[in-house]
Chains A and B, each alone.
Chain A
């Protein structure tokens, strides 16, 4: 009985500790983003001025736009590639399919440092892709598409393929079948992968840092470069916005999943 109480106390303390380390930094950043202190690390009264400063800061605006464009293009291309690849991997039978299916997930488990440096060498030494937008977007598609394949393939495994046969039987060509039946049925999975890929691409630092080159600063890289000059209040506001956007994304995924669950 007593032993049990001690065990549960230890567990409780561990939980508190974990949650503290998980949430305290984030909460502090959010709180200090509204603080009047110019070092952004103590509370000296409430203010919105850092947010105003943030939105008038041209560097931040450029970096944000760049990040949004990159994430936008990455989402569209990755989900497209992901859908087609998953469909091919599920429907076609060819030699080396299993190998391809496994290897396609490698970018997810590979350390970002490896992927990043490998891509940098590949772009600069071998195929001479200019560093900047093109290299960043390609790099993001490389590590985001597998996620889409993964999610959409998972949906396909629970898919009733007799729908597809029924559509073909009712006179729809394979293309029309995909547009009218298979595609709409995969839509929740496609949307879910888009909502996961967006923050992945938007937040990515390591791989982007490798392949960005000079002058294509994305928002995470900008934040990192600013931190080297010490913690500034503007960083706090960016952090707060990041958290807000990511939470919104997670909320959307949750809502979509809930909706697809209730509609069967």
Chain B
């Protein structure tokens, strides 16, 4: 049962939501494939993945809108497998908001409280609180079709938060907003979460959104989590080729380890390039299949005659030719064709650092970066 007037649920374990070995199939398609997950009290956790990866399905399983074929869902330590959505201590902000069109803003927000049979005056007071929280003062009597996208978003958020759920589920609520509004709502979302302290479970396919709002991120693909970690771990230390390319580390050298010496491993790529990377601290069972390097960590210099040969174990250096330049405003994206191998590298130069360098298309360049930046990928 949902218990009214309860603050943030604190269980002894500090685990707010637990998913154990959950499987959900639609016919032959396995949308969620043996997923295990623990979400802590008060954190913003994002499911991040391409569309069709099963992230929304997993969220709907947690909400009770889909029934899993196998496995358990525990909210605040209680197994909710047998509970219908209206008895689960979680509420959802839907992708299209799903506001009730025949009700005003205040009626929409108070919907759940009416179901809990609170008195009219109590409902009024709580609705007023939530309207203030999401800064919608003066909009109480409007209908959803008289609101802007961002305002509808806030109503949906207030409507779900008013029941003080143990977990708030957000099913890509920002996807439909334009870029500027989305940015504003991300900030709002984080502010509101810090204010109410509720655990947020956010589903998104937008890497930037996940990185900026989350405490932890779970990268999903084909119904399973590939990597779970803090935003900086996920971005800076992607563990697999999929995560690396999905998080924007577009430069991936696949290859295998040929030697290991002096704290470094030496990797030979399929094209015959030799790349050194720091020896990984933790020894995983999965074999090393390559390294990735983010475009913004690569330096570009015009090729000059007097070439300073640097130590390949501290600097990774290749020769190349600028293929194309894409101006982005705050940075420029260069694609560089390597001379050592048939491969294109993506390089980002931000304004300010070497940006003024005259690097036209066709220019011969040296690309280099610290070996310490090479991130090891396993598969």
Chain A residues with CB under 8 Å of chain B are 160, 162-163, 165-173, 176, 180-181, 184-185, 263-264
Contact = CB atoms under 8 A, between A and B. Distances in A.
B101 A171 contact: no
16 contacts: A160-B96, A160-B98, A163-B101, A165-B85, A165-B94, A165-B98, A166-B94, A166-B99, A167-B111, A169-B63, A169-B160, A170-B111, A170-B159, A171-B115, A173-B86, A185-B101
Contacts of B111: 167, 170, 172, 180
Contacts, number: 65
Contacts of A163: 98, 100-101
B84 A166 contact: no
Given A163-B98, A163-B100, A168 B2 contact: no
Nearest to B102: A184
Contacts of B86: 168-173
Given A185-B101, A264-B145, A170 B160 contact: yes
Interface residues of B, number: 26
Contact of A171 (B2, B63, B65): B2
Given A166-B94, A166-B98, 10 more contacts: A160-B98, A162-B96, A163-B98, A166-B92, A168-B85, A169-B63, A170-B115, A171-B2, A185-B101, A264-B101
A181 to B, nearest CB: 6
A264 B142 CA distance: 14
B191 interface: no
B204 interface: no
A162 B115 contact: no
A211 to B, nearest CB: 40
B91 interface: yes
Contacts of B94: 162, 165-166
A163 to B, nearest CB: 5
B208 interface: no
A171 B160 CA distance: 10
A165 B100 CA distance: 11
A264 B144 CA distance: 10
A165 B92 CA distance: 9
Closest 3 CB pairs of A and B: A170-B112, A166-B98, A162-B98
A169 B91 contact: yes
B116 interface: yes
A162 B114 CA distance: 19
B163 interface: yes
Contacts of B102: 184-185
Nearest to A164: B98
Contact of B116 (A171, A181, A185): A171
Contact of B65 (A160, A168, A172, A263): A168
Interface in B97-118: 98-102, 111-112, 114-116
A169 B85 contact: yes
A181 B103 CA distance: 9
B257 to A, nearest CB: 50
Contacts of A176: 115
A160 B145 CA distance: 14
A172 to B, nearest CB: 5
B100 A171 contact: no
Contacts of A263: 101, 145
B100 A166 contact: yes
Interface in B172-227: none
A42 B115 CA distance: 67
Nearest to B159: A170
A7 B84 CA distance: 67
Contacts of A181: 100
Contacts of A165: 65, 85, 92, 94, 98
Contacts of B2: 171
Contacts of A264: 101, 145
Contacts of A173: 86
Contacts of B98: 160, 162-163, 165-166
B84 A171 contact: no
Nearest to B90: A169
Given A185-B101, A264-B101, A264-B145, A170 B91 contact: yes
A176 B112 CA distance: 11
A169 B65 contact: yes
A163 B108 CA distance: 11
Q: For A163, A168, A169, A172, which residue has the most chain B Cβ atoms within 10 angstroms?
A: A169
A239 B340 CA distance: 95
Contacts of A167: 100, 111
A185 B99 CA distance: 12
A13 to B, nearest CB: 48
Residue in A166, A167, A170, A181 with the greatest tally of chain B CB atoms within 10 Å: A170
A173 B85 CA distance: 9
Give the one of B2, B91, B100, B145 with max A CB within 10 A.
B100
Nearest to B88: A169
A173 B91 CA distance: 14
Contacts of A168: 65, 84-86
Contacts of B92: 165-166, 169
Contacts of B114: 180
A160 B97 CA distance: 11
Contacts of B87: 171
A182 B99 CA distance: 13
A263 B103 CA distance: 12
Contact of B115 (A160, A172, A184, A185): A172
A169 B93 CA distance: 10
Contacts of B63: 169
